[in-house]
Amino acid sequence: MKRILGVGLLFAAGCLGRGNDVVQVTGQIEAVTVHAGSRVGGRVSEVLVEEGDLAKAGAVLVRIDPAEAEAMVAAAEAKLAQAEAALAKLEAGARSEQIRQAEAAAVRAEEQYRLTEKGFRSQEVKAARAAADAARAQRDEARAEYRRIEQLVASGAVSEQVYDRAKHACEAAEARYEAAREKFDLVAEGLRTEEIAMAKAGHAQALAVLDELRNGARPEDIAAGRAARAAAEANLARARVTADEMVITAPRDGLIESIDIHPGDLIGPGPVVSIIDPDDLELFVYVSAAMLGHLRVGQRVMLTTDSHGPETFEGTIAHIAAKGEFTPRNLQTTEERVQQVFGVKIKLDSAGGRLRAGMAATAHLPTTGPGAFAGDGKPRHREAR
């Protein structure tokens, strides 16, 4: 808006300078400005340029402390390595040693199930009966000895210590006999159906584990592993982009117009350096609606400046506004329509450093039809004769 206000006044004065078939409109030359900065911000560690320095495209302007960003990259790399290892394990499947172990476990489970299903052998039943008979005989012998000692201790023939030993021996013989008898009953009756079912289930489980190892991971698990790897790769890429933002570089060749930061400053996301190209200049002027029929984009126009007197330069019309500015709300009369102006942007170069941003320049616009200064569209300057 400031540009429009200032140049609008210049336009009003410039219209008074109408020559034969030419309207003179004055504006101010401006340089194209680009801004360089970081999208993440941080603590400034180094500032490599000052205002007024020339910078080449890609040159480092400012460095931000990269410690946190580098840590994020390292963590993302570790996550990616973990995801790649997990995926490789899924895709490779089980090792041969694991398969052999599972095969051996399946064989053991099958033998246990067959043994449980058949029950005890006759030899085992006979051995259990013999063990029970022997335990009963030992119990009877211990009982008899205990009764004898019990009678002798009443008469005082033996000590209480002998009596206690006989009693404990009798009790131990009773316990051994009960255990042997219960084992014989178990062997004689055979295993319960629940025990057989458990052995069968154990065999089925061992076979399932073996089949799973032989078949490898399911396609869904492999797909999930690949997705996890892709996510880890994306996180690493994002971390590296953040790390790259710790170095602010010049986006184009130009002159450092403004920079107001120092090492140790905390900066936020956004531009911190302004760069202008002294040879990439623009002149903004405003013309009446009546002039629009005589101008076109790409048309060359003649320019003069106060600094260089009658010397002429050439520029190229780069843009003509489609909307008028600073007009009344309703344009009812011819006099009111004259007040409507349209912005025109003219591109020009510095003419070897002779033209600079901030200079006032006058555009000499033809009024007899487009093409009065038409050419190849390249801006140039011309010495006055």
User: Looking at the predicted structure, is the pLDDT value of residue 385 above 80?
Assistant: no
Among 50-54, 179-183, 263-267, 273-277, the minimum mean pLDDT is found in 179-183
User: Position of tokens 């009443």?
Assistant: 154
Contact criterion met (CB below 8 Å) for 299 and 376? no
Per-domain residue ranges of the chain? 2-62+256-382, 70-93+220-244
pTM of the model: 0.55
48 vs 20 pLDDT, higher one: 48
Among 219-228, 341-350, 360-369, the minimum mean pLDDT is found in 360-369
Give the CA-trace dihedral at 144, 146, 151, 154, to 10 degrees. 180
326 vs 156 pLDDT, higher one: 156
The predicted-structure confidence for 133-161, as pLDDT tens digits, reads as follows: 888 888 888 888 888 888 887 777 778 88
| Mean pLDDT within 374-381 | 41
Residue 92 main-chain phi, psi, to 5 deg: -75, -30
Query: Which neighbouring-strand residues pair with 255?
Result: 54, 276
Report the mean per-residue pLDDT for the chain.
80
Hey, what CATH class is 2-62+256-382 in? mainly beta
Contact criterion met (CB below 8 Å) for 79 and 235? yes
The predicted-structure confidence for 242-292, as pLDDT tens digits, reads as follows: 999 999 999 999 999 999 999 999 999 999 999 998 888 999 999 888 888
- DSSP reduced 3-state for 279: strand
| pLDDT of 190 | 53
String of DSSP letters for 302-367? EEEESTTTT-EEEEEEEEE-SS-BS--SS--SHHHHHT-EEEEEEEE--TTTTS-TT-EEEEEEES
Among 142-151, 158-167, 180-189, the minimum mean pLDDT is found in 180-189
Among 94-98, 237-241, 267-271, 300-304, the minimum mean pLDDT is found in 94-98
pLDDT-derived band at 377 (thresholds 50, 70, 90) equals very low
| pLDDT of 96 | 75
| pLDDT of 267 | 94
- DSSP reduced 3-state for 376: coil
User: Looking at the predicted structure, is the pLDDT value of residue 308 above 70?
Assistant: yes
User: Looking at the predicted structure, is the pLDDT value of residue 375 above 80?
Assistant: no
| Mean pLDDT within 237-241 | 96
Q: Which of 17-26, 93-102, 272-281 has the highest mean pLDDT?
A: 272-281
Give the CA-trace dihedral at 139, 143, 149, 152, to 10 degrees. -160
